[in-house]
Amino acid sequence: MFSKACEYGIKATIFIAVKSLHDQRVSLKEIAEEIDSPVAFTAKILQLLAKSGIVDSHKGPTGGFQMDRTGIDNVKVYDIVCAIDGDKIFNGCGLGLKQCDAEHPCPVHDKFIGIRENLTTMLQKTSMFELATGLDIGLTQLKR
């Protein structure tokens, strides 16, 4: 469904959101441990998320990653997926035609379009706040 980079990116952002809700900045090392991801690779992904304005980063001692309250409420899973994997999964043809076009549909177009819309809507509606609170109260987990 998503690339590894995107999976790490989503998990990292949720974790940063949890910590930010407790007014804590969190370091790359801590993130990688918490989401069970390779440190250096995670660094690349966080760089991209920082450039995209999804998370804030600070260098130096006491540095690390964080989100402000507005971000925690406004950033949706959809934004992270777009930033890392692009929008192919939301707009692309399920059978790989150059573009998905209802006027010239592939054989699965009509069947796919509904599911793709459900996925898009779901990801557009799901905020970091919602996912972060579930994690914070122990309902969900980021590794196993």
Nearest to DNA of 40, 139 (CB atom):
40
From 9-17, 35-43, 122-130, 135-143, span contacting DNA (CB under 7 A): 35-43
Residue 134 near ligand FES by CB under 6 A: no
**Which residues within the stretch 52-91 sit at the binding site for a copy of itself (CB under 8 A)?**
77, 89
d(CA 52, CA 112): 30
**Under 8 Å between Cβ of 39 and 29:** yes
CB of 63 to DNA, least distance (A): 4
Helix, strand and coil content of the chain, in percent to the nearest 5, comes to 60, 5, 35
CB of 73 to DNA, least distance (A): 22
Residue where the block lists tokens 């996925």: 119
Structure-token pair, residue 50: 């920082």
Q: How many CB atoms lie within 10 A of CB 52?
A: 15
Residue where the block lists tokens 């409420």: 73
Binding site for a copy of itself (CB under 8 A): 1-2, 4, 7, 10-11, 14, 77, 89, 92, 94-99, 101, 104-109, 111-112, 114-115, 118-119, 122, 126, 131-132, 134-135, 139-144
